[in-house]
Structure 1
Amino acid sequence: MKINYQESIYPLLKLRKLLIFMLLCLFTINIGWAQDQRISIAAKNKTLLTTFEEIEKQTGLSIAYNQTKLNINKKVDKNFDNKSLSSIFTDLLQDSGFSFRFEDKHIIIVPVEQPKKQSSGNSPKKITGTIVDGSGLPIIGANVVVEGTSSGTITDLDGRFSLDVPAGSKLQISYIGYLSKTITINNNTVYNIQLTEDTQALDEVVVVGYGTEKRVNVIGSIAQVSSEKLANRSTPMLSNALAGQMAGVTVIQRSGRPGNSSGQIRIRGVASFSNDENNTAKADALVLIDGIPGDLNDINSEDVESISVLKDASTAAIYGARAANGVILVTTKTGKEGKISISYNGYVGMNKATALPKFVNSWEYASLLNEADGKEYYTQAEIQKFRDGSDPDNYANANYLDEVFSRNGIQTGHDLTLNGGTSSNRYMLSFGYLHQDGLIKKNNYERYNTRLNLITDILPNLTITTRLAGTYATRNEPTGKMLDIVSSAVRMPGLWPTFLSNGELGLGGKSEGTPPSVLYSNSFFEEPDFKVNAQIRVDYSPIKDLKLSAIGGFNYKNLEQRTYNATRQLANQTIGPSTLKHEMRKTIYKTFQATADYSKQIDKHSLGVLIGYSWEEEAYRTLIGERDKFPGNDLPYLNAGSPDNQKSSGGGNDWAIQSLFGRLRYNFDERYLLESTIRYDGSSRFPKDNKYGFFPSVAAGWRISEESFFKENEDLDWINNLKLKASWGILGNQNIGNYPYQTVFELGQNYPFGDNYALGAAVTTATDPTIKWEETQTVDAGFESVFWNGQLSFNASYFYRKTYDILYKPSGSISSVLGQKISEMNTGKLKNTGWEFEIGHRNQIGEVSYNINGNFSIINNKVMSLGVGNVEQLNGMVGNGSNLFINYPIDMYYGYKTDGVFLTDKEVGEWADQTKVNPNSQAGDIRFKDISGPDGKPDGVVDPNYDRVYLGSRIPKYTFGLNLGAEYKGFDIQVQLQGVAGVKGLLSGFSGWALCGDGNIQRWQADGRFDPANPQRYPKYPRLQSVRNVQEQNMEVSDFWLLDASYLRLKTVQVGYTLPGSILKKAGISRLRLYVTAENPCTWNKYREGWDPEINTEGNYYPILATYTFGINLKF
């Protein structure tokens, strides 16, 4: 079996001589005791592997061997009754070509050494070396063999080896769970070799709900990302590091704003109408950090051991009411037995925008404005002044967006980790620091992390695990409405200078200053966020095969927001008054969980039973204070402001949930697999009669590769694992807000009483007292396969997810009939179906090892019903009339089909009558298509009631990722590509339309506009016109404005070099790696120039950042 020898005891070599002597004596006694220890085992007809596992359970010793060399499937032909370990292993390894030895708490099985064959011209020389893993920890028991011979050895407890080899020969290094490596012996005598973990190993353990499971025995759909794929990434938000890593997991980053740039994670589509304004349920996945709910983006990636994503009901149903949108399990690193190791990872680099729109010059703008309206707003003399800069105070040529995004920000990260311990106490202590400058002045994000994970074995059967984590983060921005500055910089033409020639700030076009002028004021926005997470876990095994566990967890969050708008001096006027808003939000979360886990192996039958109870409670409080008219900008505190217009408010809410859950696992010979889970949840968010929900699941699997007819067929020995699997289950969603079923009285409903008005309150919203759980029913089927000893793997799955009783607020047309607003009702149905594919390949050619991993997902999303919100449109479509229609994806675009533009005014009369859309159509205007009419056929009239159709969805249909890696003589390279397809985008308003609200003109609009002198049927932009009403003329939603938002992004490129150990040894350094990284350096797309298709939004645009860093990994 696979043993994690990084957690083994390191010899204490630097103690005083007396202690060394005493320890050696004890060590010798321990070995003597181990090999003379007597046990009884019913081993007859069992495999060596099963027998080894039983020996480990009875003795507490670990057994190390090379799985690729030793035939662990060999059947044992006898039982052992009260036999010593020495005699048992002598019998087990008889005629196998292997021998054994005892070292401390390890039994190490090695090949029997054969006489060494030396070639006549190559005299042997002695070499030494160390074998380590990806973290720099020694690998104990790794096999080191001279290629083509039986000469070899294994590494000791420090991962060291010594061997006589012929010059020019090659060494083959292998170890269970790691990719083998071959090196050529040159003139060096010291070799330090790093093995890469084999992520396709069949005995890999996967984190699942409330436990772990061998990957080969997992039936449900689980994707797991190891720490190696997250290490050294310069992504401040961990969620973004998951993009492109797993099939069925879509991560979309909608902003590059420091401190607010997290990725939106969607697992197998969207299970609720979360993107619609009439729906309060959220489509966010449940994130559990070491079993306790938390925020994925608060975690330092260097603290993460693995991230598992539970995608189907069979794996997620054990979390019941909170699992409808998938579950993300984060496991943090723990201490490892041995001497203390100190690791430092640090980087520094630069940020820049991936995409920013370009604008015309001021003199071009003036000329184009004259053209658009057919009026001379600017004379030729004035246009010349813009061009030559002779009067910069009145005729400027500014680019406000460049002035706002005026810098390349600095980003740096530093992480220090201490790891070690004894056999009974292991610890991991880490410290992290991150600083990220934005592209805007006074915009940055700073975060401090610390974590302590402590494992204490009180007794052999009693373990206490303590986990403490703290985060302090601060987001700073130049004003509370920083994105409004960006929006204004996009909209406002650069006709006015930010600074006048005398150094004063200019008034701008509306006597409020230019957009960048706010950056030079004393205004600010700061958001300090302090979080503490604590948990203690007790594991107790009263009898063999039974483990009782209890967890107590506590999360505390205190977030503040201070928004100060300072008085500003612009030329000859002061803008004010100054205002300050101070908001405090506090959240306290508490949980208790208890589980009993029983597992039993009887011959080929394996049974596991888990039962548990959990209780969660959260309290949220908020307090807000506001004042204005501060005497100056030096004291931005509430007590310095005027009390005349002060405001104060506060509030809070509480919720709780308690649950019973259970899981049954059974497998026969790791061939036939069965699993079932149930969860019974009760949530305070629902009315009494619907407070509880029941969520079951069942899954089955068949490992065909373990059948005798398969294993005995030599033509199929290249297939190592082939498993079919299927599952069904029901999940719930309680993320609906607090108590939406309760009747609420709205204050301010005053009424006349005599000659005065009396204070009053009224019920203005009709609520549904029968609200119940949203439920998602999931069916999953697929297969997993591994070929050629893990060199190739391929997995495929099909899923069907149907969500019932979606909470939805019916449209305003329903409300108008009732005379009241309507709250949420269980009235919607939604379906997600799709396919997931994963392929992996790894190999070694000479001294080059490489790996390729790809994933591809197809997700089809469809609204099935809006219940009482089903409003039939005149064109026959049923929905809310905007973005939700039956049998179409959610978040869809609903508008007109078009066919270019009119080339002449005459063509307008020859086209279908479109006066209901554009009453004054002319040459250069968009030609809207006549699709249908009252009788379902084109009627020669373009009508909004009959001719609007489905144009596409903002949710991607296809997602994909490709990860490439290679290593050669200390050099390594990692490349990741990620993208989406089958998705549409729309830029409207000042982001997509020229002269919108007297706004600016982008370069592509000017260059691609319709030109009457050279008319083109399909220009990039119709005729220029001032847009003062978003519903007028050419600006209706149509496929003319719709964009292909597909993209392929080069997500990460990292190149590193690890210095040879022979150079580092003298300095006491075990590992030193230098690397350079580029995040988001390149994107291929057909989106609008200067706009990022991943953000795919109109306003509030902050470009995703491209980051270039230099880093170092150092380990002592």
Structure 2
Amino acid sequence: MNKQTKLLTVTVALLGNLNLTAATTVASKPAGAFSSASTAKLLPNGHASTAVNKQDGRNILAKGRITDQDGEPIVGASVVQKGTKNATITDLDGNFSLNVPPGSVLVVSYIGFAEQTVTASTNLNITLKSNVEKLDEVVVVGYGTQKKVNVIGSIASIDSKSLESRGAADVSNMLTGQMSGVTITQNSGNPGQDAGKIRVRGVGSFGASPDPLVLIDGMPGNFYELMPADIESISVLKDASSAAIYGSRAANGVVLITTKKGKAGQTRVTYNGAVGFSKAVALPQMAHSYEYAEFLNMAIGKENFSQEAIKKYRDGSDPDNYADENMIEELLGGHAFQTKHELSVNGGNQNITYALSAGYLRQNGLLRNNYMDKYTGRANIGLTFNDKLKLDVRLAGAVKDRNEPSTPGPLDFDGVQSIIQQALRFPGLTPTYLQNGQLGMGPKQQGTPVAWANSSSFFNEGEKSIKANAELTFSPLKGLSLRAIGGYNFGLTEEKHYRNELQLTDGKIVGPSRLTNMMYWNAYKTFQFIANYNLKIKQHDVSLLAGYTWEDESQRFVSGSRNKIASDDKPFLSMGDANGQTNSGDGYDWALQSVIGRLSYNYDQRYLFELNMRYDGSSRFPTNSKYALFPSVSAGWRITEEKFWKDTPALDFVTNLKFKASYGVLGNNNIGNYPYQTVYELSSKHNYVFGGTYTQGAAITTYTDPNLKWERTRTSDVGFEAAFFNNSLTFNATYFYRKTTDVLYTPAASVSDIFGLKLSKVNTGALENKGWEFEVGYANHLGDFNYRINGNFSIINNKVLTLGLGNVQQRNGMVGNGSDLFIGYPMEMFYGYKTDGLFLDDSEVSSWVDQKAIASGSKAGDIRYLDVTGDNKVTPDDRVYLGSRIPKYTFGLNLACNYKQFDFSMLLQGVAKVKGLLSRYAGWAFNQEGNIQKWQMEETWNVQKHNRYAKYPRLETTSNAGGKNTLTSDYWLLDASYLKVRNVQLGYTLPKNTAKNIGIAALRMFVSLDNPLTLDHYYKGWDPETTNSSGYYYPTMATYSFGLTLSL
């Protein structure tokens, strides 16, 4: 087929849009071979035109070129003289010409692009803008795809363009703020441990895992296995209508990740790379040693540090004995290098397509010997044998090597986060290194946290995974497809935790050294058989899906430890002392088999209806509750497709309006393995005498429920989707209600005492999440300046409905630290006292209500607790609900624009009506011989200021348990709302002609900033997004990077 014949094929396919007719055999004729009876004519230059108007001297020949936003010519675009049938289409270079009267208005359109009107002239350059919402857009759903216009369920989707240039190391954090109802929080910036915690429409359980199911090309996976350039799209299934097809694993939402497939055509090689650096988003500001000494003297009311000592701390004249170290700044105050490289090859022909990729990510941490290396590879191959049979093969592998410093020898601290916590705790009074180069004793004669971080101690985690699946599709009849899918995942994780022997000055040794090796492997297998049948009869469109799936997973674990390792260089267990060695091992197996089904029906794309079901059987449950059915039903109405709507010109500005509703039941089988089975404990305390011999004994110590069953979530949705002004403006709103029953819950110890045994989890709880989701988008252009605004806003109300055993019977004893459960209130609640500032002098204490029961010995500068019950005293009965760590409001705003070759985007994200708490080393000065922060020094009460509402009470030293001023109360709770600039990006794309002249297809260069700015109400140096309140943390990171995308 020659070039002109190809054009004719495109032309005839589009003539229907122009209200023209042509001979149906035209595609087989040479150029210019239209019959004289045809209305359309192909001009010698390849243009199709009508013969309505002839050149008569009063007309002009309107000419021009039509391109997309990337400058690529649009072939077959329609150009119509408004109000007539006089029309043409563009040729292979995007050019057109049309004979029209002067001053005529031309209507320019093409499928998938917004229509434009221009005044006719002889030199037009027209850029068509892609539709914001294309009615033919396809959305990935469970076990298939659907046209977006026909989707009834609540599904949030983003494509690869939103991810490829981001500097965040983990893909999960790139989703933050981009989807309504999806909350993602990052609690750590430690390389390889910085993945976001995803919650879909609230927190769905306090007994089983509340994490969503993550599937990569239909197989269970993790975000760390992916590089951004591998991803085609990400869909989050939020309601029962969309998620019920995944049944017992869908109660907390489903994340479907689709990787890129090969596309027939010219082979395209693309490189995407970036280099940059990261720094902590926020760091607490600690006191200098001399400030610590002065304020400690104030706290204890005597001169613990002499003025001479304070002077030496201040002037640095004797650093070996009077040091002034800021260990937090030394450990975390620097910058960390980061680089990412991705290479992909995509192409193929009508028989075989391929998408191959390889990626490398190096992410350094802020501490010495703190890094993560990740290598990924992926191959997606598509084979088409004939029009009935095709095979898709997907192979993927990932290697991850993560390292962090640890504590030496016998110190029973937990790695890098404990190093940071202890650096936050201890004042910098003692040096890490003496002037002679030896390690100083540190505050506890164990060295300092800086010395630990710089030692040979380390924790190393290596993960290797390989995934393979094949999908054979056979289409024996029109509309019928049969798919057989087989998959295998294998993962191996090796952990090595080495604690070296640390030698301090004067021969002091912190030891002995210890090495622990652990190894996990897991193997996952699946087989799926899926049948699809699509039938269209006139305006009736029916789609049926039925299938069977089988899944099986096994995991094994072994561990061993030895002391006194001979060398720090390459520590192995064989180099340790066999005396005192330990070892352990265990494993599990589980299986899941399921029958799935879906019926979708629409009438004239106007009335929409869908049924979904999954019948699951899980080995994790006892025989009498092993199987369960999870159904859903949904319906929709596209009112804009009604005749009365189309016949009303005043409603033309409404492009699409769809009402939808759904109801269904989802399950949660992520409860661990076989918690219903009775466990016998082997222990010397159960030994007994048998036949005169002291014999090993076993005993049942925990009561398990033999009738354990699934947690069930019933979900209802009602909403609408609307588009206006040719899809330039969109607005969606949804109300949802999720009620989870049979929540697994462990009763309190007081209940266990009644039975004389510990109690395992039982199905006794219930909770709900309900709220609203709103999404709005607007896109337009002013000449060459194109802009887009997308926003989302969610309201989520979480509430515990029952615990089954009463409010006070909780396993945590209502500790008030943000983990309490109380009927009628949100999960993760703070339960404590109401307050009214501080006592200004000792005389006020005697005139205040009696608070001796909780705060004996109160004096000036201490907290005044309120009597809520009205009995003229303050007791634990006066505690009330103070707030929750679960945000009620979440929102995101995505701004993007481009002008010619330049593009700019900014993503904002935030939460509101949420509480946070700083306690222990993070919030209390002088806690357990701890340090004091700048904000505490500046905000503390003192008799001179006489400030009743000072932000910090009278200074005092406290133990680990705190004191009378550290009880959980509204005095300590902080507004944890924040607004974060998640990403700012500026890019420049080389003009197409310039790129072509230098032998490349495309080149884009960009600067990207991730997490550069946070606006919040927290104390300086603390990030409200980090939920750990005691200082056991690794700060989140801001990343600044420069990169480019090069295509050949």
CA contact (8 A) 1:961 1:977 kept: yes
For residue 214 of structure 1, what is the amino acid of its counterpart? K
**Deviation string for 1:123-158 (max 9, x for gaps)?**
999x8897586xx998654568999998975353xx
Cα drift, residue 869 of structure 1: 5.2
* SS state at 1:65 partner: helix
Q: What does residue 988 of structure 1 align with?
A: 919
How do residues 241-260 of structure 1 correspond to structure 2 at under 5 angstroms?
241-260=174-193
Distance change >3 Å, CA 348–CA 329, structure 1 → 2: same
> Structure 1: how far apart are the matches of 2:283 and 2:201?
31
For residue 297 of structure 2, what is the amino acid of its counterpart? N
* SS state at 2:379 partner: strand
Q: What does residue 547 of structure 1 align with?
A: 481
For residue 212 of structure 2, what is the amino acid of its counterpart? A
Q: What does residue 637 of structure 1 align with?
A: 572
Q: What does residue 51 of structure 1 align with?
A: none
> Structure 2: how far apart are the matches of 1:863 and 1:541?
50
Distance change >3 Å, CA 881–CA 439, structure 1 → 2: closer
**Deviation string for 1:314-349 (max 9, x for gaps)?**
110011011000111111110111010111111111
Q: What does residue 938 of structure 2 align with?
A: 1007
Cα drift, residue 1100 of structure 1: 2.3
> Structure 2: how far apart are the matches of 1:869 and 1:1028?
32
Q: What does residue 827 of structure 1 align with?
A: 764
Cα drift, residue 471 of structure 1: 0.7
* SS state at 1:721 partner: strand
* SS state at 1:592 partner: strand
**Deviation string for 1:462-506 (max 9, x for gaps)?**
110011111111111112601111001100011111111112111
* SS state at 1:1063 partner: helix
> Structure 2: how far apart are the matches of 1:692 and 1:719?
47
Greater shift, 546-555 or 572-581, is seen at 572-581
Cα drift, residue 182 of structure 1: 10
Q: What does residue 783 of structure 2 align with?
A: 846
For residue 764 of structure 1, what is the amino acid of its counterpart? T
How do residues 531-930 of structure 1 correspond to structure 2 at under 5 angstroms?
531-572=465-506, 573-748=508-683, 749-753=685-689, 757-868=694-805, 870-871=807-808, 883-930=820-867
State yes or no: 1:1055 paired with 2:990: no
Q: What does residue 383 of structure 1 align with?
A: 310
How do residues 484-503 of structure 1 correspond to structure 2 at under 5 angstroms?
484-503=418-437
Distance change >3 Å, CA 708–CA 389, structure 1 → 2: same
CA contact (8 A) 1:298 1:471 kept: yes
For residue 493 of structure 2, what is the amino acid of its counterpart? L
Q: What does residue 1096 of structure 1 align with?
A: 1027
How do residues 319-358 of structure 1 correspond to structure 2 at under 5 angstroms?
319-358=246-285
For residue 529 of structure 2, what is the amino acid of its counterpart? A
Q: What does residue 65 of structure 1 align with?
A: 14
Q: What does residue 90 of structure 2 align with?
A: 154
* SS state at 1:272 partner: coil
Distance change >3 Å, CA 655–CA 95, structure 1 → 2: farther
* SS state at 1:269 partner: coil
* SS state at 1:554 partner: strand
Cα drift, residue 296 of structure 1: 2.4
CA contact (8 A) 2:158 2:235 kept: yes
How do residues 936-975 of structure 1 correspond to structure 2 at under 5 angstroms?
938-944=870-876, 946-975=877-906
CA contact (8 A) 1:957 1:981 kept: yes
Distance change >3 Å, CA 256–CA 187, structure 1 → 2: farther
CA contact (8 A) 1:914 1:942 kept: yes
Cα drift, residue 460 of structure 1: 0.8
How do residues 56-205 of structure 1 correspond to structure 2 at under 5 angstroms?
65=14, 70=18, 112=50, 140-142=75-77, 153-154=89-90, 156=92, 160-162=93-95, 175-178=110-113, 197-205=130-138
CA contact (8 A) 1:347 1:414 kept: yes
> Structure 2: how far apart are the matches of 1:592 and 1:779?
31
CA contact (8 A) 2:11 2:76 kept: no
For residue 145 of structure 2, what is the amino acid of its counterpart? T
- TM-score, scaled relative to structure 2: 0.92
State yes or no: 1:362 paired with 2:293: no
How do residues 221-620 of structure 1 correspond to structure 2 at under 5 angstroms?
221-273=154-206, 279=207, 281-479=208-406, 481-572=415-506, 573-620=508-555
> Structure 2: how far apart are the matches of 1:426 and 1:174?
31
Q: Which runs of 5+ in 1 are unaligned?
A: 1-22, 36-60, 274-278, 933-937
**Deviation string for 1:1067-1094 (max 9, x for gaps)?**
2111111110100000110012111001
- TM-score, scaled relative to structure 1: 0.87
> Structure 1: how far apart are the matches of 2:499 and 2:816?
43
Cα drift, residue 550 of structure 1: 1.2
Q: What does residue 144 of structure 2 align with?
A: 211
Distance change >3 Å, CA 294–CA 677, structure 1 → 2: same
Cα drift, residue 672 of structure 1: 0.7
For residue 521 of structure 2, what is the amino acid of its counterpart? K
CA contact (8 A) 2:74 2:94 kept: no
For residue 931 of structure 2, what is the amino acid of its counterpart? N
**Deviation string for 1:978-1006 (max 9, x for gaps)?**
01111101111111000000100000001
Q: Which runs of 5+ in 2 are unaligned?
A: 407-413
Cα drift, residue 871 of structure 1: 4.0
CA contact (8 A) 1:879 1:885 kept: no
Greater shift, 760-769 or 480-489, is seen at 480-489
CA contact (8 A) 1:678 1:697 kept: yes
> Structure 2: how far apart are the matches of 1:882 and 1:1114?
49
* SS state at 2:428 partner: coil
CA contact (8 A) 1:871 1:878 kept: no
For residue 568 of structure 2, what is the amino acid of its counterpart? N
> Structure 1: how far apart are the matches of 2:809 and 2:566?
59
> Structure 2: how far apart are the matches of 1:497 and 1:171?
79
> Structure 1: how far apart are the matches of 2:482 and 2:180?
35
Distance change >3 Å, CA 942–CA 642, structure 1 → 2: same
* SS state at 1:867 partner: coil
> Structure 2: how far apart are the matches of 1:1075 and 1:817?
66
> Structure 2: how far apart are the matches of 1:713 and 1:860?
40
Cα drift, residue 652 of structure 1: 0.5
Cα drift, residue 359 of structure 1: 1.0
CA contact (8 A) 2:515 2:563 kept: yes
Cα drift, residue 265 of structure 1: 0.6
For residue 390 of structure 2, what is the amino acid of its counterpart? T
> Structure 1: how far apart are the matches of 2:668 and 2:36?
59
Q: What does residue 8 of structure 1 align with?
A: none
How do residues 43-58 of structure 1 correspond to structure 2 at under 5 angstroms?
none
Cα drift, residue 868 of structure 1: 2.9
CA contact (8 A) 1:64 1:141 kept: no
RMSD: 3.6
CA contact (8 A) 1:225 1:306 kept: yes
CA contact (8 A) 1:1074 1:1111 kept: yes
Cα drift, residue 783 of structure 1: 0.6
Q: How many aligned residue pairs are there?
A: 1028
Greater shift, 1061-1070 or 259-268, is seen at 1061-1070
